[in-house]
Amino acid sequence: MKKLVAFLLATVMVMSMLTACGSSEAATETAAEVSESADGATSAALADGVLTVGTNAEFPPFEYVGDDGQPDGFDMALVKAIGEKLGVEVKIENMEFASLVTSIGSKIDIAAAGMTVTEERKQTVDFSNPYYEAVQYVVLPKDSAIASAADLEGKTIGVQLGTTGDFIATDIPGSTVSSYNKAVDAVNDLINGKVDCVIIDKNPALVFESKFEGQVVAVDGAQFDFEIENYAIALPKGDAVLAEQINKAVEELKADGTFDELVKTYIEAE
Ligand code: ARG
C-alpha cells in the first residue's frame, strides 16, 4: 500500500512538472513570436508581453477618465484591440500630454493620445500609419466677432500645452498664448472671459460645444486656414518590428469591422 501511494505521488509530481514546463514554454513562444519578425529582428517593447501605453485622458472622445476612474475612449479601445491581436497585455499610463513623446522608451512603450504626426515629433519618435484625420477648431464665446484668420491676430488664445493647437496659436502674429494641462480648463477660462478663444482639435471642440451648450461655439478651422492633421500612434524610434506589428493589427481591425465599430461607438455617438 505504501509503495502504491509513493508511486501515485511520484506520478502526480512528474505530471504536474511536465504540465508546468509545457505551459510556460508555450507562453514564451507566443511572446517571442510577436516580438520577432520573419527575419529574426525583435521588438524590445513587445518582448516582455506587456505593452505600456501612455495617454493624456483629457481629450474626449479619444481619451477621458471613465466613470470607473480608468482612462477610456476611442484610442484606449483601439490599443486594447491591438493588444488582443498581438497577444500582449495592455497597460495604460495617464500622464501630461507634453511628457508623452519624451517618455517613450522609458516610462512607456508607445503613446496613443490623438497625437498628430509632425516633423518635429518625428525627430524623437516614429509613428504608426495614420488612423484618423483631424483639424484644429476654434472654440469661441457665443457672441464672439472672431471669424477669420486675421481676426485671431493679437488675441489671447487658450490651448492645451504642447499640442498642435499650441504651436498654431504661438505662430499667430501678436498672439498671447495661455497654455493649460487640461483642455477643459482652457474652455472654462474662455467662459470666464480670460481668453478670447481656444484652439483645439475638432472632436474635443465639438464635445466641449455640447457640454457647454449655449455658452460656446466650435468653428471649423478651415475658416481660419488651418491644415488637415493626421493622428497616429507614437512609437519608439527604430523599432521596425513593433511598427509592422501595430500597422498589421490596425489593418486587421479595419478589415474585420472592429475599427468602424469603435468609430461609431466613441466618435460618431458623441
Ligand atoms: N492632436 C493634437 C496634438 O497632437 C492634440 C492632442 C491632444 N491629446 C490629448 N490626449 N490630450 O498635438
pLDDT at position 200 is 98
Do the domain assignments include residue 107?
A: yes
CA of 204 from ligand 1 middle (Å) equals 10
Cβ within 8 Å of residue 49, ≥6 positions away: 27, 30, 31, 87, 88, 89
Same-domain pairing of 85 and 192: no
Same-domain pairing of 114 and 144: no
Percent of the chain with pLDDT over 70: 85
**Range with lowest mean pLDDT among 16-25, 68-77, 222-231, 242-251:** 16-25
| Structural domain of 167 | 136-227
CATH code at 198? 3.40.190.10
- Which ligand 1 atom is the nearest neighbour of the CA of 166? 12
pTM given for the model: 0.86
Buried b (16+ CB within 10 A) or exposed e, 25-58: eeeeeebeebbbeeeeeebebbeebebbbbbbbb
Model confidence band, residue 43 (pLDDT cutoffs 50, 70, 90): confident
Do the domain assignments include residue 20?
A: no
Same-domain pairing of 84 and 127: yes
Whether the pLDDT of residue 20 is over 80: the answer is no
Q: Which of 133, 161, 163, 203 to mutate to test the pocket of ligand 1 (most atoms within 8 A of CB)?
A: 163
For range 54-63, the mean pLDDT: 98
pLDDT at position 45 is 85
CA of 123 from ligand 1 middle (Å) equals 17
Same-domain pairing of 150 and 182: yes
Mean pLDDT score of the chain, rounded to an integer?
90
Same-domain pairing of 146 and 205: yes
Do the domain assignments include residue 62?
A: yes
Same-domain pairing of 223 and 94: no
Amino acid letter, 250: V
pLDDT in tens, 144-197: 999 999 999 999 999 999 999 999 999 999 999 999 999 999 999 999 999 999
- Which ligand 1 atom is the nearest neighbour of the CA of 121? 4
| d(C-alpha 75, C-alpha 73), whole Å | 6
Same-domain pairing of 128 and 234: yes
What cell was used for 25?
A: 514554454
For range 123-137, the mean pLDDT: 98
| d(C-alpha 63, C-alpha 74), whole Å | 6
Model confidence band, residue 270 (pLDDT cutoffs 50, 70, 90): low
Same-domain pairing of 51 and 171: no
Same-domain pairing of 141 and 129: no
pLDDT at position 42 is 76
Q: What angle do CA 59, 167, 92 make, to 5 degrees?
A: 30
- Which ligand 1 atom is the nearest neighbour of the CA of 57? 10
Between these two residues, 1 and 58, which has the higher pLDDT value? 58
Whether the pLDDT of residue 5 is over 60: the answer is no
pLDDT at position 137 is 98
Same-domain pairing of 216 and 152: yes
Do the domain assignments include residue 114?
A: yes
Do the domain assignments include residue 31?
A: no
Count structural domains, the chain: 2
DSSP-assigned letter for residue 230: E
